[in-house]
């Protein structure tokens, strides 16, 4: 009877150690390696492009606010 219970407990543990654990470790360390490498050249260029576009949008917003301030000084109170 004890041997049956031990077999029921040991079998899933062995299956886990043989199949799941190695795959889990491989995927874990692969993702750690990718994170530690930082941004790729393509990602860096994309980030730079987005930063430039954000700066342009900020300048446009400031220009639009200046125009609205001169033409309709009370526009901020309506928002």
pTM over 0.85: no
DSSP string covering the chain:
-HHHHHHHHHHHHHHIIIIIHHHHHHHHHHHHHHHHT---HHHHHHHHHHHHHHHHHHHHHHHHHHHHHHH-TTHHHH-
pLDDT, tens digit, 9 for 90 and up, residues 20-75: 999 999 999 988 887 777 778 888 899 999 999 999 999 999 999 999 999 988 88
Provide the token pair at 11: 């079998």
**Sequence-ordered list of residues with C-beta below 8 angstroms from that of 54, at least 6 positions apart, any chain:** none
Q: Domain residue spans in the chain?
A: 1-38, 39-73
Contact 33, 39 (CB under 8 A): no
């Amino acid at each position: 009877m004890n041997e049956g219970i031990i077999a029921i407990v040991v079998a899933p543990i062995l299956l886990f150690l043989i199949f799941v654990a190695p795959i889990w470790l491989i995927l874990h360390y692969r993702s750690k390696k990718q994170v530690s490498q930082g941004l790729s050249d393509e990602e860096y260029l994309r980030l730079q492009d987005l930063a430039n576009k954000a700066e342009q949008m900020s300048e446009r917003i400031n220009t639009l606010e200046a125009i609205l301030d001169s033409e309709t000084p009370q526009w901020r109170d309506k928002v």
